[in-house]
Amino acid sequence: MIVALDRTIDRFLEVSDHRPILLRLAATAPADAAPSVGQPLTEDEARRVSRGLRRRSEPAAGARTLAEARARLADRSTYYDAAADAVVREAFWTGISAGTAGFTQTVAGTLKQTHTTPLNYEPSKHVYPWVDVRPNAMVQSIYSGFEATPEYFIQADAEVERLRTEAREALLERGVLESTEMETMLEAQFQYNCEHVVPQSWFGKKEPMRGDLHHLFSCEPRCNSFRSNYPLVQHEFERTMQDCGRVEDDAFEPKGGKGAVARATLYFMLRYAGYVGRRYAGQRLKTLLAWHEQYAPDEWEKHRNAAIYVLQGNRNPLIDFPEWALRLQFEG
């Protein structure tokens, strides 16, 4: 599918487990389609896309209160305010120590209690325009590293939604009754550019898991389909990977994003105990913890954590305090 980049958007307005189902549908590209995403933006366009996202050369003065720090994190004119985030982080986890009894239960309870604003699964509203934006104002596919502007991902999903609507109408005209099965088929055939790191089939597409931003990442549909709903692993033997990763023995090793997806999965296991089950027991859990240690959180992940905190209320403890991974119990 080729989607034109809409260069007029100044502000921005959301399946995993995908096995393609053949459904014929004709779609014609608009006559005035813009050049491919690889074409450089003009100076004016680059200024507009990156406005408010690039790092400032001089650090801002420290926030004096929690309310001020939270307001600064909500201000999208700054990509990531480390000083404000430090104030919020310390306040969020105040009174919680890795050495205390019931540490894991306390952390899990905090994640649930502070998840005050459950969100619908709408990546075009939250993931692409802000949460998943990198310091260079671009959005990057989590497994392959493919990079494009936020507009590209938003427009691609808009095209997906258009195709779903056309297909739905065609099926209804043929007498097919609207149902959950129909929607599942349409979602599998016409996929968003978003990955649930914990596959939706593992939790039955239930909310608030489906819209929880902590485990949602930008990802081209081809990589999403390639991964399917296989668990994450480190394969034993070194072999050539495709640009999304490698699938072998019903398990998936991503080419990129290992640290981020490990922390997202570990967060999910704390926040939603019981849904992952034994899929990440033994060596597989050790692999997630090894990736977490090997690939430390960078500015992009810290930006994500702060942005998600503003939007839905809770934080990922593995990003805030990476050393906690050694003291927490991840039982799925």
- 3-class SS at 265? helix
- DSSP structure string for 9-73: -SS-----S-------------TTPPPPTTSPPPHHHHHHHHTTTSPPSSPPPPPSSHHHHHHHH
Q: Which of 236, 237, 254 is nearest to 245 (CA)?
A: 254
- Within its chain, how far is the Cα of 274 from the centroid? 21
> pLDDT tens digit string along 238-273?
676 789 999 999 999 999 999 999 999 999 999 999
Q: Which of 201, 194, 254, 250 is nearest to 224 (CA)?
A: 194
Q: What per-residue confidence (pLDDT) applies to 179?
A: 87
Please give the average per-residue pLDDT across 196-213, as a whole number. 97
Phi then psi for residue 84, to 5 deg, are -65, -40
Q: What per-residue confidence (pLDDT) applies to 240?
A: 63
Q: How long a stretch of residues is the chain?
A: 332
> pLDDT tens digit string along 154-185?
999 999 999 999 999 999 999 988 888 888 88
Q: What per-residue confidence (pLDDT) applies to 45?
A: 56
**CB of 143 closer than 8 Å to CB of 255:** yes
